[in-house]
Amino acid sequence: MLFRIIVFTLSVLVSTGAMAQTTRPAGQGLGGVVTGENVYVRSEPGNYPCTKLSHPERVLVTGRRDGWLEIMPPAGCFSLISKRFVSVAGNVGTVTGTNVLVRAGSSMELYRNRIDAVQTSLNIDDKVTIVGEQEGFYQITPPPGARLWIAAQFVKRLEDEADTQPATTQPTTQSVFITTTQPDVIKDELSAFEAAEKALEAEFKKPREVRNLPDLLAKYEAIKITADSPLAPYIKLRVDFLRGRMELARDVQDASDLVRAAEARQAGLAADRAQFAATAPTTRPTRSYAAEGILYASELFTGGATGPKRFLIRDTDTHLISAYVQCTTGAVELAGRVGAHVGVIGSPKYDEAMRLYIIEAEKIAVIKPAPPKPEPLPIPEPKPEPIITPVPEPKPEPKPEPIITPVPEPKPEPKPEPIITPVPEPKPEPKP
């Protein structure tokens, strides 16, 4: 159907010079008109509905399958992508994973939780426009490659109603296909595209495992078109489709390799178990053990008024406590097997507070005896300490006191007596 639409469009361009087109009222699609009321637009043929359309709403048809038309998502429809693989900034999301599946979302309340219809896939750094959220998913504007489906019986092709639908010719930039490409060039491009489409159809009739997708991709990428060629979006659609299928094929191959590796690993483990079963000792009791490990006496439950005496079972590798063991009947002697690797047969009961099983022992099997305790070393008798007679230290001889010769003190020199000059007494003044 896609190819027929392209051929029809290009034949009009070739015959008219490709400079004008018939326009429809604003907001309506091209390709087909809905003839019924509340016609379901579905995620896949026969699958859950995403929205409803009524006459005279228009749809753009891109394919056909068994009575169903593949259409571009109508206005208001959205797709879903997992929140785990999208980094959000405002209402723009950036895909952070490889081959992240995009699913068809439903605006109908009854089907809002349906996510099983895959529309396309996106890769790292692809951008999406976020229009809403629901549990675990972002609602996004349908990306390129996303398609929905409508029953063909409720859609009439626009070509069929061309005689009854008035049209106006507008040689403006609002036309869907405006090109200056020469008709001869368009014919060459269309011929190459038609050859690639036939190769695609033939290749997809083969089993998936033998399809040569790289060769198909090379055919479409080799088509030489002008910058304003009307074939450009359709070639890009096919190139994106094939690249997505190749990426999916690589992921399937990786998954198959992992499955084969896991199966080989399981086969090896089964062989190891069979070998172990063949060489395992046959002296163990046929009844399975409730616990197995090294037996230790519990320092917390020592018996008495607080409850029965308990023992610990520790794992032989990690030495972590795996269970408690007790024997309230006295039928099993546990204390004599402390330190041995034992298997305990009994009735386990889970203790929520301790988060461990407490086993009432009915029988105990020694798998490996406890290692012998080292004998204590003999303590030598203490030797008597020798009597040491202290030797008196020699007294130092007294040193003679030094003879000190007294030094005579110097005699003070006599000081000369001061010379006193007598002061004459004043004479009395004569009385007048």
Whether residue 23 is predicted with pLDDT greater than 70 in this model: the reply is no
pLDDT band at 162 (very low <50, low <70, confident <90, very high): very low
Q: Is the Cβ–Cβ distance between 99 and 145 less than 8 Å?
A: no
Q: How confident is the model at residue 430, as a pLDDT?
A: 65
Please say whether the beta carbons of 148 and 41 come within 8 A: yes
Q: Identify the DSSP state of 211.
A: -
**What pLDDT, on the 0 to 100 scale, is given for residue 311?**
94
Q: Tell me: pLDDT of 206 over 70.
A: yes
Grade residue 353 by pLDDT with cuts at 50, 70 and 90.
confident
Please determine, for residue 429, whether its predicted confidence score (pLDDT) is greater than 80: no
The 10s digit of each residue's pLDDT in 244-292 is 888 888 888 888 888 889 999 899 898 888 888 777 665 544 458 889 9
Nearest to 59 by CA among 40, 81, 79: 40
Instruction: Identify the H or E element spanning 240.
Output: helix 232-279
> 394 or 11: which carries more pLDDT confidence?
394
Rg (CA), the chain: 52
Q: Is this prediction's pTM over 0.75?
A: no
Q: Where is average pLDDT lowest: 16-20, 130-134, 238-242, 335-339? A: 16-20
Q: Crossing angle for the helix pair 232-279 and 213-221, nearest 10 degrees?
A: 160
Q: How far apart are CA 323 and CA 359, in angstroms?
A: 7
* Interval 375-391: pLDDT, tens: 666 666 666 677 777 77
Give residue 83's pLDDT: 95
What pLDDT is recorded for position 15?
Answer: 40
Residue 346 CA, distance from chain mean position: 44
Q: Is residue 150 scored above 60 in pLDDT?
A: yes
> How far is the C-alpha of 120 from the C-alpha of 116, rounded, in Å?
12
Task: For the chain, give the percent of residues with pLDDT over 70.
Answer: 78
Tell me the pLDDT of the chain averaged across its residues. Answer: 80
In the chain, % of residues over pLDDT 90 = 34
> Order of strands across the sheet with 58-59?
58-59, 32-34, 155-157
Window from 106-120, 268-282, 353-367 with minimum mean pLDDT: 268-282
